[in-house]
DNA sequence: TTGAAAGCGCTAACAC
DNA sequence: GTGTTAGCGCTTTCAA
């Protein structure tokens, strides 16, 4: 037999011998319904196993109870945690999440923002690949639904001020670098990824820590991509040179940490012994390595949850103004940070051997 | 001003002074359209910035180009990788993904399967929390759209045979345990999570390795939850006893590995020195630890991609029978596996100290 | 309190 | 080739 089309509200109405609109009223909890009617309809619904078609409902109500989430790379555990937090909150509120990976490509960001709008999502959660891509900014300006940026800033480049949930990376980084400075380090290297908000903030935190102590120089900052490979090469460059190699390295993201660790390993340098090391964002890696790695920590799931919260507020009351929430970060000390060597030291040079751990993009 | 409702196909038709259906034909690439008409319509579309309403289109076409994905815990990097693989393939084919976390709760699985159906997804990708929950099985049987199981088996409990993409865990595990046996280990402990397909398969692989060598005993298997805490306690129990503690431990999942490592650390046992260790599924952790951990590896992204592929095939041609694809696993040797000690040894007892790394559920 | 009817934005016969 | 029309399954006036 042909796949019996699913039962519609019409059949329920027939079965109960009432008007379609009555079925609709009962099902959507309209107050002016008699008990008799309610019972009659509900029993027909049970008999037929009827379930509302949310697509048709959405078309008619002009509201789909659906939220779009655009994310650069869901396989990054950070973004996965954020996604988890957001989805849970949305689901609690009766919303479903349309998820799309942008492969860290601003063009895909832009295209997906448009596509999700065509799918009539009620709102958007955006963890964008870029903060200044023109196509993406145009897509944002074309939006007539509320959206929330997740740890991104596009202020000024966009017509209407967006909601945003941001991490206070600078303060955690300031603590971290302050700690290193207090341990006597002066030559501190910060390895950063792409020029997004978190990179800028982390840079600023480092600079503030130096400024706070009236130390004007010593640090260096290496920007690049957010790949482990970039971090590995940057670290290689830092440690390979004869003149004044850094005594402490700060990884600007968990992915970068992987590359830094690989290079340290290759050069047989042990964090907490030969060099001090700080990373950002707790992952299993930072806690289980020996010694554990000091990190600037934040609550990623909470980040997603709060993003969802901000969006829901605007979805439920469209007079609410866009708002920005700043979530804290916290520096967690670990033995990967030790006192700076008092004498200019010569780092051991590496023994050539097969590198490993860099083939895969995943940071696990 | 009130949010100007977005331009509809009616306005495009008016603007171009043609029939609505002509606009529809042009936009959906109907062959019988004159060039003049095409130009006229397209220029009106451009003028008005019209974009098809996919909700209305879906309602009418009875096809939404949307696929639902139910996953136990998206913050697990394994599932995140699978999700990534699936989403990418689906997006390439023009589909969007509705993602829902079931929090590893079979009731939520069941409810979300129903909800996604109400949202009229064209098909479903399922990484279920349970393989035998009655509510969930009922939800599966109520489905009138194709679905694909991701590394799960419900054969026999369900009316119509489902498509599935499975990992061949047993063969990789057999290799791994074979390797340990060849290194002289006899007392090998396998720490497993919940009783899902991958646990059964991994158990079978271990048993086959023993059988293959005509060794009939020595191994022990500890089942439990898939949490690091379970693994930590299980490992504690294994190593705490006086009589014949295992000389090798196999972690039945990446999450379990975290718990095992924590306990080993606490007891000051070094993998590859004091005890041999194998894990399942590559994560950054396994590669960057010193020494790196031997793993039974598989391609998670490919798992997701293949799942999407199987679904797409059935979406594009509904005469295609459900099919099952088995993807390989591979054992990767690492120095975490060493020869078994020749003499019965006494393991060093732990120094009490603060445990760490177990508070967070994330395995990074 | 209930029913009839219009219509959300689109597609697909069917007629011209 | 193009236009007219009847819905997809639902909600929501409006009248009764």
The pair phi, psi for residue B114, each rounded to 5°, is -65, -45
| pLDDT value of position B150 | 98
> Which residues in chain B touch residue A81, judged by CB atoms under 8 angstroms apart?
75, 362
pLDDT, one tens digit for every residue, chain A (364 residues):
333 468 999 999 999 999 999 999 999 999 999 999 999 999 999 999 999 999 999 999 999 999 999 999 999 999 999 999 999 999 999 999 999 999 999 999 999 999 999 999 999 999 999 999 999 999 999 999 999 999 999 989 999 999 999 999 999 999 999 999 999 999 999 999 999 999 999 999 999 999 999 998 899 999 999 999 999 999 999 999 988 999 999 999 999 999 999 999 999 999 999 999 999 987 778 888 889 999 999 999 999 999 999 999 999 999 999 999 999 999 999 999 999 998 555 555 554 444 333 333 222 2
Global pTM exceeds 0.85: yes
Q: Describe chain A by its helix, strand, coil percentages, rounded to 5.
A: 40, 15, 45
Q: Say yes or no: Cβ of A21 under 7 A from any atom of strand D.
A: yes
pLDDT in tens, B96-130: 999 999 999 999 999 999 999 999 999 999 999 99
Which residues neighbour B361 within 8 Å (Cβ) at sequence distance 6 or greater?
B75, B227, B228
Distance from CA of A233 to the nearest CA of B (A): 17
Contact in structure between A340 and A181 (CB atoms under 8 Å): no
Through-space separation of residue B18 CA and nucleotide C1 C1' in angstroms: 45
Q: Spell out where chain B has E strands.
A: 66-71, 96-101, 123-127, 147-150, 163-167, 188-191, 220-222, 248-251, 276-280, 294-297, 324-327, 330-332
The pair phi, psi for residue B65, each rounded to 5°, is 55, 40
Distance from CA of A212 to the nearest CA of B (A): 32
Which residues neighbour A352 within 8 Å (Cβ) at sequence distance 6 or greater?
none
| Cross-chain residue pair A285–B364, CB shorter than 8 Å | yes
Q: Is B291 on the interface with A (CB under 8 A)?
A: no
Q: Say yes or no: Cβ of A54 under 7 A from any atom of strand C.
A: no
| Cross-chain residue pair B144–A357, CB shorter than 8 Å | no
The pair phi, psi for residue A331, each rounded to 5°, is -90, 130
| Cross-chain residue pair B100–A97, CB shorter than 8 Å | yes
| Cross-chain residue pair B54–A357, CB shorter than 8 Å | no
Q: Is B360 on the interface with A (CB under 8 A)?
A: yes
| Cross-chain residue pair A77–B74, CB shorter than 8 Å | no
pLDDT in tens, A1-14: 333 468 999 999 99
pLDDT in tens, B137-195: 999 999 999 999 999 999 899 999 999 999 999 999 999 999 999 999 999 999 999 99
- Among candidate residues B84, B93, B91, the one with its CA nearest the CA of residue B127: B84
In three-state secondary structure terms, A189 is strand
- Among candidate residues B255, B289, B202, the one with its CA nearest the CA of residue A285: B289
**Ramachandran class of B363: left when φ > 0, alpha when ψ lies in -120 to 50, beta otherwise:** alpha
Output A233-240 pairs: Cβ under 8 A, ≥24 positions apart: A233/A259, A234/A191, A234/A259, A234/A260, A235/A191, A235/A259, A235/A260, A235/A263, A235/A264, A236/A263, A238/A189, A239/A263, A239/A267, A239/A269, A239/A347
pLDDT in tens, B282-309: 777 888 888 999 999 999 999 999 999 9
Concatenating the DSSP letter of every residue in B33-93 gives: --HHHHHHHHHHHHHHT----HHHHHHHHT--SEEEEEES-TTSHHHHHHHHHHHHHHHHT
By C-alpha to C1' distance, D3 is nearest to B19
């Amino acid at each position: 037999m042909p796949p019996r089309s699913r039962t519609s509200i019409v059949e329920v109405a027939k079965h109960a011998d009432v008007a379609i609109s009555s079925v609709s009223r009962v099902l959507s909890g309209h107050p002016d319904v008699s008990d008799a009617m309610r019972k009659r309809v509900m029993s027909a619904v049970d008999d037929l196993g009827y379930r509302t078609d949310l697509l048709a409902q959405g078309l008619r109500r002009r509201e789909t109870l659906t939220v779009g989430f655009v994310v650069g790379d869901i396989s990054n555990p950070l973004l996965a945690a954020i996604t988890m937090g957001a989805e849970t909150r949305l689901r609690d509120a009766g919303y479903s999440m349309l998820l799309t990976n942008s492969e860290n490509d601003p063009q895909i960001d832009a295209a997906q923002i448009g596509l999700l709008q065509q799918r009539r999502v009620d709102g958007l959660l955006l963890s964008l690949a870029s903060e200044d891509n023109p196509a993406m900014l145009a897509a944002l300006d074309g939006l007539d639904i509320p959206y929330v940026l997740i740890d991104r800033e596009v202020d000024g480049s966009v017509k209407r001020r967006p909601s945003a949930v941001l991490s206070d990376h600078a303060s955690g980084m300031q603590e971290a670098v302050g700690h290193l400075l207090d341990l006597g380090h002066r030559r501190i290297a910060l390895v950063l990824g792409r020029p997004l908000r978190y990179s800028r903030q982390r840079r600023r935190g480092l600079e503030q820590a130096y400024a706070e102590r009236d130390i004007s120089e010593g640090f260096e900052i290496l920007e690049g991509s957010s790949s482990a490979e970039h971090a590995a090469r940057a670290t290689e460059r830092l440690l390979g040179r004869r003149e004044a190699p850094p005594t402490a390295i700060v990884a600007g993201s968990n992915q970068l940490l992987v590359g830094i660790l690989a290079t340290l390993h290759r050069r047989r340098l042990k964090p907490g012994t030969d060099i001090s090391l700080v990373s950002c964002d707790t992952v299993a890696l930072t806690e289980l390595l020996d010694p554990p790695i000091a990190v600037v920590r934040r609550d990623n799931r909470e980040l997603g949850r709060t993003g969802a919260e901000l969006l829901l507020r605007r979805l439920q009351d469209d007079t609410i103004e866009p708002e920005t929430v700043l979530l804290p970060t916290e520096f967690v000390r670990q033995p990967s940070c030790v006192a700076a060597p008092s004498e200019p030291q010569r780092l051991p040079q590496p023994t050539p051997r097969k590198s490993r751990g860099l083939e895969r993009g995943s940071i696990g």
